[in-house]
Every structure is written in C-alpha cells, then in structure tokens.
C-alpha cells in the first residue's frame, strides 16, 4: 500500500506546501505589490509652462525659450570622434569625456544629460549632425527668456532646486526649477502652477513600454498663471538708463493705487546672463562684486538717512500736534544755537524769517530744528512723551517697518523712540536738543527709498497710501487686485501747506532744475551726509543726492524717491532725474534733451573709486 500510493502522497504533500507558499506570498504579504510597482511603474512629471510676466500695459517682460539638452544612453554609444563632437557642442573634449563617464557610472541603460542647455542657435547645427553619434539625442527643455534686459532686480531669476529647497518643500524634485529672488520667487506658486503626474509602465531595462493601467492614476497638471505687473516698462527702462554709471535707486509709485511703476536699482545686470550654460559663472561674478553689489536692490534694501525730505513729515506732525501753524515763523541766522556752544548751520541768508512754506522751499534747518523740538517738548514735562508721539506718526507713514510689498527682500529702516534714547543716554539723560538731528532727517533715522517714495505718495494723497505692490492682476482676471488702504495719523487739512511748500521747492526753491512747463511738481531735495570706515576710521564720503517728488500737484499720478549715492547735493542728480522720470511718465516723451543728456552722460564712477584709492581724497567737489 505504501509503495503503491507513495507518489500520490508525495504529490499531495507538495501541492499542500505549494499552496501554502502561495498563501504566504500572495495573501499574507502585501509588500510584493509595492515591489512590483516599484519595479514596473515609472512616475514622470509633466510641467505646465512657467507663467509669463507682463508690465502694466501688457508688454512682455519674461517668457520662455527652448534650449536643448544633449542626452545619451551610454550602452548605445558606439565609438565616435570625441574631438569633433566637442567642437560641435563648443565644450572642451575633457569635459565631454568626463560627462560621459559620469553618465556611465549612473546607468548604462538610462539616459543622462551630457551637455545641458544648448542654445537654439547651436542646436540647429548639432541637430544636423547628431545622427552620426549613436546613443546621443537632443531633448527639448525650457528656460526663461527676457525680451528686454530690464528690471532684473524686480523679476529675480530661476534656477534648479538644491537639496535645501527639497527639504523645505517636498513638492520639488531634483532638476526642477524654482524662483529665486524677485517676482519669480514671491509668486513662485502662481508662475509655476503645479506639475501633473503620468505613470508609465517600464520593462526591466527601465524602458517605457506604455501607460500604466491606461493612465487612470495620472494627475493632470494645473496651469501656471501669467502675471501682469504694475511696472511701466518704458519708465523702468528710462530710469535704468538715467542711473547708468551711478549707484542708487529710483522708486516710483502711483499714489492712488500703491502700484509701483518702477523700481530701479543701479548698478544692475542683464537678466539674460542668469539663463543657460553660463549661469553659475555669471552668478558668481555678480555675487562676488562686493563693491558695486549688483544683486543688492538699492530701492528696497539700502537704508539711508532720509535727509531733508524728511522735513515735510516733521512739518505735518507739528501741524497735527498743533505746535505750529502755517504762520509760525522762526528766524534763521545762517543757522542757530540749539544748545550752549552747539550751532546747527543752515543755507539761509543771515536774518531770514521763515514760515512753514519758506522753511520747506529753503530747506531751513533752523525752522525745522525749532519745530521738531516743539513736537518733542509739547507736554512741557517729558521729552519721552513727545518722542513717542512723533514715532507713532512716522509709523503711520510706513516708516520703521516693512511695507508689505510683494518682493522677498527688504529692510525695515529705523525710527527711534524714547526707549531707544533711554537705552543709549539713560533715562533723563537726553533732551530734545540731544536728538535734534532728527529734525533734518539725519541722526538715527534710517529709511529705504521705497519707504521714501511711499510717504511721498501719502503726502500726494493728502493722508493715506495703499500698500505698495508689484502685482496688478493674475492671468485673465479682468480686475486689478485690491490692496489695503492705510490712513496716516495726520488729518488731510494739514497737508495743503506742506504740499504748497513742496511745490515752491520746484517753483523757486532748491529744485528749480526739476521744473517742467505745464506740470505742477511738488518735491523736496536732500543732501545726506554719509560715512565709511576706512582703515578703522570713520571717514566722510561725498553726500548722497536725494529727491522726493510727486506730480501733478492736484490729482497726483506719480510719486517718487530718487537716491544717487555720493552724488552731492539733491538738485545735482536726484532732482533732475526725478523730473525727467515725471516728464517721461506723464507726457510719454522728454523734451529737455540738454538735461537728459547731462544725466545720461554723467558718471560717478570716479567718485566711487575714491575710498579705495588708498590715498586721502576730497569730498563734495
């Protein structure tokens, strides 16, 4: 019996063991499903084309252009003339060999990028010859294109994500691009859209053999958005040309909306150099330039003393607090003693009697020193109280804090308060006379050009401003985005005398050079002392030339601040530049070619060399 049915018994036993094994593999263990998917399913991302960026008149600022990556599947490469291909690609032979070895190490069956970002033009040549090199092929890719080489400081740039980006945001995968700096960075999500996923089935050589499960798991990509900026391309271009060979910034805002019409920072760079194969080399060069700092946005990041334009704010605060009125007069003796043995100089002639308006258009230090001290000492008891009231008013103009505009860089600036002086001088150790430099916008105050432009807009609006911004609308949305309206702590009636003063500045005051026939411009010049540490010593440099302005006086359309570093007095560079900008924006053309030429041809490069010459130098020549 045992002998007869030995085989059936063994067969039965085997079947039991096999079925048991099947239970173990197929029913008890789900990891094989994952392993099989990992084997056979390849996930590939599909990317929406990155959004375009336009100016306020829908003129194209940023688009995309095709580039080509030379790919290779190492196992398909047959021996070829390395030198010939290297010449064709415009790379070194050693570089080409290195890249091919690198690809081989990665995988012999999978395609690798050998030479990336081949330009359209070169591609045309390579494409013709590529058939000669088996295993190589060209793959289309896309990079940013800047039809006008402008506004690089605003637009920012894109580059491939690094490990850090991937750690911070799990959306990204190696090889994808991310916006760095500027609009590209701030509106990354809108411009990028969101990638879709396609699942493919691959074979054991990782070759794609078709869609996985007919694409039921595919995720469609979400469209990237085009952005319409508030920027005026023509004005931006003009501003950038005016600041050529100078360092500084121009910020122009439309007061009624807070839309930033232009933000110029000089020196700047052509955004196209941060695209393509030379990107990292060029970037390094820009980043290494610690003197001119082309990557530093002077409009947003540079903190300067506000200088004389700040007098307008002190005037407003004094009016609001009732410590002066439009008829209050102070006598200027080419300056005045504000404390025993302490004299503050002024440009006024000896014995000038200044009221508010003439105080502004003559930029009288004496008038504003007295006015400022009245603000601080108004309670009669404590200077701290007055200091904090002053601070609060200034804060309502957006000073001493970020303005909330839509770019990723910026500086807060600084507005001192009582605590600050208590810290430095001890409580009770300071009086209004101690801090009198604030009266004329020197001292501890720090502002950025955009803050200056913004308070100018608030003055133009007679008491309010909109959060300055760059984004006008997204994609095909018809309506512009609405931004927060901020009302200053100064009643609108107090603005008229100050505006009148600013109007006089241009009419017959310090900035007559800025006058344009037929346009009522209100402005205020500034000449800001500044210093640099040279060999451990605080050395004065030539003053910064600054100007704030808005126009027209009634129903203002543009408010702006212009800084020209080491440009000496305000009406030397800043006021003419501001005036030309206004003319350009309001009339669309510039008739004062003599002034324009002077600005365009003027160079301050020699001035910037001075501190680095190693020799003593003369300032304010």
**For binding to another protein (CB under 8 A), which residues are involved?**
3-8, 10-12, 14-15, 17-19, 21-23, 25-27, 29, 31-33, 35-37, 39-41, 201-205, 209-210, 212-213
Tell me how far, at minimum, the Cβ of 78 lies from another protein, in Å.
24
Residue 210 has, within 13 A of its CA and on its CB side, a CA count of 3
Tell me how far, at minimum, the Cβ of 75 lies from another protein, in Å.
16
Burial 567-583 (b: 16+ CB within 10 A, else e): bbbbbbbbbbbbbbbbb
Tell me how far, at minimum, the Cβ of 32 lies from another protein, in Å.
2
Shorter beta-carbon distance to another protein: residue 22 or 291: 22
The answer to whether 467 touches 521, Cβ cutoff 8 Å, is: no
Shorter beta-carbon distance to another protein: residue 26 or 492: 26
Shorter beta-carbon distance to another protein: residue 73 or 403: 73
The answer to whether 463 touches 404, Cβ cutoff 8 Å, is: no
User: Taking the CB of residue 18, how many other CB atoms lie within 10 A of it?
Assistant: 10
How many whole angstroms separate alpha carbon 390 and alpha carbon 57? 40
Residue whose pair of structure tokens reads 């929406």 in the numeric block: 48
How many whole angstroms separate alpha carbon 590 and alpha carbon 586? 10
Shorter beta-carbon distance to another protein: residue 10 or 606: 10
How many whole angstroms separate alpha carbon 239 and alpha carbon 223? 34
Shorter beta-carbon distance to another protein: residue 74 or 497: 74
3 state SS of 531: strand
Tell me how far, at minimum, the Cβ of 478 lies from another protein, in Å.
48
Tell me how far, at minimum, the Cβ of 215 lies from another protein, in Å.
14
Shorter beta-carbon distance to another protein: residue 15 or 605: 15
User: Which residue in 512, 523, 520 sits closest to 583, CA to CA?
Assistant: 520
Shorter beta-carbon distance to another protein: residue 202 or 481: 202
Tell me how far, at minimum, the Cβ of 24 lies from another protein, in Å.
9
DSSP string, 106-140: H-SSS-EEEEEEE-HHHHHHHHHHGGGSTTEEEEE
Shorter beta-carbon distance to another protein: residue 202 or 334: 202
Tell me how far, at minimum, the Cβ of 41 lies from another protein, in Å.
7
DSSP string, 60-99: EEEEEEEEEEEEE-GGG-----HHHHHHHHTS-HHHHHHH
Residue whose pair of structure tokens reads 């003129």 in the numeric block: 59
To which H or E segment does residue 485 belong? strand 485-487
Tell me how far, at minimum, the Cβ of 8 lies from another protein, in Å.
4
The answer to whether 246 touches 218, Cβ cutoff 8 Å, is: no
Shorter beta-carbon distance to another protein: residue 204 or 476: 204
How many whole angstroms separate alpha carbon 235 and alpha carbon 264? 10
Shorter beta-carbon distance to another protein: residue 17 or 287: 17
Tell me how far, at minimum, the Cβ of 205 lies from another protein, in Å.
8
What are all long-range contacts of 611-615, with beta carbons under 8 Å and residues at least 24 apart?
Answer: 611/532, 611/534, 611/539, 611/541, 612/291
How many whole angstroms separate alpha carbon 521 and alpha carbon 577? 13
Tell me how far, at minimum, the Cβ of 15 lies from another protein, in Å.
4
Sort strands 53-54 and 227-229 into parallel, antiparallel or unpaired.
parallel
Tell me how far, at minimum, the Cβ of 214 lies from another protein, in Å.
10
User: Taking the CB of residue 398, how many other CB atoms lie within 10 A of it?
Assistant: 23
Shorter beta-carbon distance to another protein: residue 200 or 617: 200
């Amino acid at each position: 019996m045992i002998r007869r049915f030995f085989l059936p018994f063994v067969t039965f036993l085997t079947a039991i063991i096999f079925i048991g094994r099947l239970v173990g593999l197929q029913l008890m263990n789900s990891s094989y499903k994952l392993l099989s998917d990992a084997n056979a399913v390849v996930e590939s991302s599909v990317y929406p084309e990155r959004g375009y960026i336009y100016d306020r008149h829908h003129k194209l600022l940023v688009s995309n252009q095709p580039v080509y990556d030379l790919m290779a599947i190492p196992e398909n490469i047959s021996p070829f003339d390395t030198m010939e291909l290297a010449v064709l690609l415009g790379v070194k032979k050693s570089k080409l060999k290195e890249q091919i070895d690198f690809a081989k190490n990665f995988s012999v069956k999978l395609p690798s990028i050998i030479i990336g970002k081949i330009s359209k033009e070169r591609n045309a040549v390579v494409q013709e010859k590529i058939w000669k090199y088996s295993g190589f092929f060209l793959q289309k890719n896309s990079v940013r294109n800047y039809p006008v080489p402008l506004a690089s400081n605003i637009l920012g740039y894109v580059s491939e994500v690094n490990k850090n980006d991937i750690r911070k945001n799990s959306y990204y995968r190696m090889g994808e691009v991310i916006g760095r700096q500027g609009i590209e960075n701030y509106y990354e999500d809108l411009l990028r859209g969101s990638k879709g996923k396609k699942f493919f089935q691959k074979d054991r050589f990782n070759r794609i053999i078709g869609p996985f499960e007919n694409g039921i798991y595919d995720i469609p990509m979400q469209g990237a958005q085009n952005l319409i900026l508030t920027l005026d391309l023509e004005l931006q271009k003009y501003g950038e040309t005016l600041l050529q060979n100078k360092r500084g910034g121009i910020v122009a805002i439309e007061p009624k909306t807070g839309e930033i019409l232009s933000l110029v920072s000089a020196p700047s760079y052509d955004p196209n150099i941060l695209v393509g194969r030379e990107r990292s080399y060029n970037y390094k060069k820009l980043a290494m330039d610690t003197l001119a700092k082309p990557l530093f946005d002077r409009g947003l990041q540079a903190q300067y003393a506000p200088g004389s334009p700040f007098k307008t704010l002190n005037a407003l605060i004094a009016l609001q607090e009732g410590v002066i009125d439009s008829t209050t007069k102070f006598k200027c003796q080419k300056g005045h003693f504000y404390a025993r043995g302490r004299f503050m100089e002024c440009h006024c002639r000896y014995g000038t009697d200044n009221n508010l308006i003439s105080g502004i258009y003559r930029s009288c230090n004496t008038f504003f020193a007295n006015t400022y001290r009245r603000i601080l000492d108004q309670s009669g008891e404590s200077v701290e109280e007055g200091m904090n009231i002053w601070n609060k008013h200034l804060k309502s103009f957006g000073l001493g804090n970020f303005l909330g505009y839509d770019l990723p860089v910026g500086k807060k600036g600084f507005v001192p308060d009582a605590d600050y002086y208590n810290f430095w001088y001890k409580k009770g150790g300071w009086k209004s006379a101690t801090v009198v430099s604030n009266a004329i916008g020197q001292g501890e105050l720090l502002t950025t050009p955009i803050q200056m432009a913004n308070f100018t807009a608030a003055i133009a609006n007679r008491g309010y401003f909109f959060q300055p911004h760059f984004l006008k609308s997204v994609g095909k949305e018809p309506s512009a985005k609405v931004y927060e309206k901020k009302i200053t702590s100064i009643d609108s009636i107090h603005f008229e005398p100050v505006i009148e003063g600013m109007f006089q500045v241009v009419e017959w005051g310090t900035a007559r050079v800025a006058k344009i026939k037929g346009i009522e411009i209100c402005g205020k010049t500034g000449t800001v002392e500044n210093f640099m540490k040279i060999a451990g010593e605080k050395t004065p440099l030539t003053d910064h030339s600054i100007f704030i302005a808005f126009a027209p006086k009634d129903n203002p359309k543009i408010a702006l601040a212009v800084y020209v570093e080491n440009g000496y007095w305000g009406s030397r560079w800043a006021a003419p530049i501001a005036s030309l900008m206004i003319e350009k924006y309001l009339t669309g053309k510039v008739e004062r070619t003599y002034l324009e030429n002077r600005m365009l041809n003027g160079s301050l490069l020699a001035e910037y060399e001075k501190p680095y010459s190693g020799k003593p130098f003369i300032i304010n020549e």
